[in-house]
Copies of this chain bind each other. A is one copy, B any other.
């Protein structure tokens, strides 16, 4: 199995080199956990190695993503101009407004969005696909059978692309609670914030990664001006 480095040293070490090609990796975390930062940083380092990337945003306009990235010194537009990066605004809006990426009339807007992303990745010849967040794709679907089908369809379509695929999820499952998407993904990364004795502790844990051996223990991480930093060689409590 070929691995694709994320460029985040400690995280790549936990992964045994990087994320496995052709697998769908889910990044789960609460607000402010750094899901988008992890995703964008991985992308920036792939772009720096000359790998073609697709970034699809389902919640925030691409404009905001770009602006926030600039705070870390990551200039997405530069890479768009170079032709290595393709971005897609596939905002899921349930009311009938003019928005890109929607198939009005068919009642199957989720499947239309999936198709838009997959075709975008193919056309671009992407080596990586980033999707942020999955939550927006399925939030208006209350039936769990149908929700599972949408997620299954997306993940299977991403797998067929054969590239690295990172999908974020706005969820931080508690001990013993799971979200459907965690079963359907090939890899699951959990970002957790905990206040213990009035002290905030942030940990990253690989809960699942099909096809590779990995460090399964939780590790502390921080978000600095240079992005994600994983302290995988230090104990969590000092």
Contact = CB atoms under 8 A, between A and B. Distances in A.
Interface of A: 1, 30-32, 59-61, 64, 67-68, 71, 93-95, 133, 135-136, 139-140, 143-146, 148-149, 152, 156, 159, 170, 172, 174-176, 178, 182-186, 188, 193-195, 197-200, 202-203, 205, 207-213, 216-218, 224-225, 236-237
A212 B145 contact: no
Contacts of A175: 194-195
B218 A94 contact: no
Given A94-B149, A143-B140, A195-B175, A218 B236 contact: no
A37 to B, nearest CB: 9
A200 B208 CA distance: 13
Contacts of A202: 216
A147 B55 CA distance: 25
Contact of A205 (B59, B95, B195, B209): B195
Contacts of A156: 61
A193 B210 CA distance: 17
Specify the main secondary structure of chain A where it touches its partner.
Answer: loop
Contacts of A59: 152, 183-184
A216 B200 contact: yes
A59 B216 CA distance: 25
Contacts of A186: 68
Contact of A139 (B31, B148, B211): B148
B68 A211 contact: yes
21 contacts: A31-B183, A59-B184, A60-B184, A68-B186, A71-B212, A93-B152, A94-B145, A94-B149, A95-B146, A95-B149, A136-B148, A139-B145, A139-B148, A140-B143, A175-B195, A195-B205, A195-B218, A199-B218, A202-B216, A213-B224, A213-B225
